[in-house]
Amino acid sequence: MDRIATSRPRVVVAGLLLSLAMAGCSSGRASSAGTAPAPAHSSAVPAAGARAMEIPVLEGFESALAGGTRLRTGQPGPQYWQQWSEYRLSAELNPVSKRLSGQGSISYHNRSPDTLATVYVHLLGNLFSPRSRHNTDVPWAVEGVELARVTAQGTELTLTESGEGQGPGYSVNGTIMELRLPRPLAPGAKAELAMNWRLRVPPDGAPRGGQDGEVYFISYWYPQMAVYDDVNGWQIDQYLGNAEFYMGYGNYDVSLTVPEGWLVTGTGRLLNPDDVLSKQTRARLDSAAHATGVVQVVREADRGPGKSTAAGRDGKLTWRFRAENVRDFAWGTSANYLWDAAPAAVGDPDGDGQADTALAQAFYRPEMRRSNWGQTARYGQHSVEFFSEYLWPYPYPHMTAVDGPTSCGGMEYPMMTCIGGQWDTLGLYEVTNHEIGHMWFPMIVGSDEKRYAWMDEGVTQFNQSQGMADFFKGFDDEARNRQPYVSLAAAGGEVELMRHGDRYPSYQSYGVASYYKMATVMVALRGVLGEETFNRALREYGRRWEYKHPTPYDLFNTFENVSGQDLSWFWRTWLFETWKLDQAIDTVVTVGDSLEVAVSNEGRAPMPVHLVVTHTDGDTDSLTVPAKVWFDGSKRTTIRVARGAGVKRIEID
């Protein structure tokens, strides 16, 4: 036998291919601090007919399957349920004291099969309380949420220390408030809750919002119901500043009082434009809905009471918003804002057969033009239109980018993103596109960001890459994602994806896993399934879980259901472990009129072998050997390649 190749090209990646990118009791169930499944370490090969590779069982998920709330196909089951809230909130901002005074009521609908004697509420603003814990920089921890009055079911509740008291009352532990109801809340019933509170808007440097004296982005400012679901029971993990959120859906009716001349933008539809906007502003806003380009709704010379806004009574105006079937409400305000808007074609989200549009908006200070903010409405327009086609139609009336304090960085809220700091053209488009991508994951597909950050961040990072390739005509953002992942993995710092967001050893390991590795894993999965099947599965996952709460296993099961493939080996390898892929061409020898290519896999990660055969006439062939050749523990496989017109080169892709 003639040996025609002696070199040993090797693909060695710590984590992934170099060709890839970075049942309840009567009182309800209170979960402990959330835990993702622990990594599996068994290397046993399943028996014939079993799944290719076992993955850990998610606590609570098997019970959900047995109870019919979820199906092994990845769909919500016939008994699926989730809770619902109706919020009626009002607040007034005092820019002098930088304080927000709020009051509100919540109608909490118990759609679960469980009777709830206790309910839980997030006070996320307590991150800034000196009594709270945090795992990220909080430069200002002076005061949190000051509760003045709390009532439930018509009874005023008394504050007790956490863990004390058996009768009606409430206690606060960090960012979690426990409400012991005067009467147990039966399945199908609702409880009326009401609260008065105030808080100081934190300064620049606080994560995900705040104020810098000129612009205010008001986030996590009201008491919000914690999620009670069919898998976890109550999800009452503390907000520590790093890992993000798990939020339930509801309707919001919100009234916001600010000084006259201050523009306000918020989640939802503005209900009273005639009361708060000048005639000129209303006319320009109406024209923006039908324009062919960006309309400057408020220009520099237009700012101020009687110009951009109506003249208010007692120097104030109250803006009223309504948002339906959303998981949160945020808003931004400033006397200095300019306002740009452009229509974005979104398809037919309501299914009435008519093409719809949403308004892509930007609120920013004039000096932010040096950071390309004059282009942000156009960037938003493209992003909304791209994702509406690539994923599914954007369902909301507007998508608004707000120039906020520097520490906003880029942060998403329903119909809103707060963006802070200085940006070049590429960077501002990237952050705008990424945050708008979050409208699909997790605003519509409501995963638990805190326990499984990759379900929204990594998926959105991947989707961002598709948007950037479209906007910048072939720009390879997938390669940019790959680099920080490969670098950290090669340095030995890689951590598995299935880990609680607050339990990573460093912010770098959290960010690389949640954003760049998962984005890279999505590229790998697309390579395994093929682009058409991958896209179909991703969209089907979104369709099934719109405005619902999927777990990782619902995502896994949907992709397997749509593709018709057992992908347990893929999930185990790339989400539960940090195994290395180490494929190499060992030898190529002539056998008759063919070549035998011996490929080894010295790592633990099983992946398909992709060979590219280049012939002497320049033609190429691609051969794929399925990942199952490694399932029995084999470290070597042989592939027969026809010599044809002669072979010049054989490579592993």
pLDDT tens per residue, range 121-130: 999 999 999 8
How buried is 492 (Cβ within 10 angstroms: 0-12 exposed, 13-18 middle, 19+ buried)?
exposed
Is residue 177's pLDDT more than 90?
A: yes
Confirm if 16 and 524 have CB atoms less than 8 A apart.
Answer: yes
pLDDT value of position 164: 64
Block residue for tokens 């009626």: 88
pLDDT value of position 340: 98
Q: pLDDT band at 141, cuts 50/70/90?
A: low
SS3 38: coil
Question: Taking Cα atoms as reference points, which of 85, 78, 84 lies closest to residue 64?
Answer: 78
Is residue 168's pLDDT more than 80?
A: yes
What is the rounded CA–CA span in Å between residue 16 and residue 478? Answer: 13
Confirm if 214 and 416 have CB atoms less than 8 A apart.
Answer: no
Question: How big is the chain by its Cα radius of gyration, in Å?
Answer: 27
Question: Taking Cα atoms as reference points, which of 70, 71, 88 lies closest to residue 80?
Answer: 70
pLDDT value of position 653: 77
My answer on whether omega of the bond before 273 falls inside 30° of 0, hence cis, is no
Is residue 20's pLDDT more than 50?
A: no
Is residue 12's pLDDT more than 80?
A: no
Could you count the other beta carbons within 10 Å of the beta carbon of residue 83? 20
Phi, psi of 646 (to 5 degrees): 110, 145
Q: Which residues contact residue 535 at a Cβ distance below 8 angstroms, ignoring those fewer than 6 apart?
A: none
What is the rounded CA–CA span in Å between residue 304 and residue 327? Answer: 32
| Alpha helices, H only, 300-406 | 376-390
41-50, 396-405, 635-644 — most confident range? 396-405
Is residue 1's pLDDT more than 60?
A: no
What is the rounded CA–CA span in Å between residue 131 and residue 120? Answer: 19
Rounded to two decimals, the pTM is 0.92
Confirm if 173 and 179 have CB atoms less than 8 A apart.
Answer: no
Q: pLDDT band at 163, cuts 50/70/90?
A: low
pLDDT tens-place string over residues 260-314? 999 999 999 999 999 999 999 999 999 999 999 999 999 999 999 999 999 988 9
Is residue 44's pLDDT more than 70?
A: no
Write down the mean pLDDT value for the chain.
91
Task: Quote the tokens at residue 314.
Answer: 């007692």
What is the rounded CA–CA span in Å between residue 650 and residue 615? Answer: 9
What is the rounded CA–CA span in Å between residue 615 and residue 601? Answer: 25
pLDDT value of position 593: 86
Q: Which residues contact residue 615 at a Cβ distance below 8 angstroms, ignoring those fewer than 6 apart?
A: 621, 644, 645, 646, 647, 648
Confirm if 471 and 464 have CB atoms less than 8 A apart.
Answer: no
Return the higher-pLDDT residue of 19 and 155. Answer: 155
Please give the DSSP secondary-structure letter assigned to residue 565: -
pLDDT tens-place string over residues 342-381? 999 999 999 999 999 999 999 999 999 999 999 999 999 9
Task: Quote the tokens at residue 406.
Answer: 């520097």
Could you count the other beta carbons within 10 Å of the beta carbon of residue 424? 10
Q: If you average pLDDT over residues 35-46, what whole number do you get?
A: 37
Q: pLDDT band at 317, cuts 50/70/90?
A: very high
pLDDT tens-place string over residues 472-526? 999 999 999 999 999 999 999 999 999 999 999 999 999 999 999 999 999 999 9
| Range 42-47, long-range pairs (CB < 8 A, 24+ positions) | 43/604, 43/633, 45/631, 45/632, 45/633
Confirm if 91 and 100 have CB atoms less than 8 A apart.
Answer: yes
pLDDT value of position 46: 36
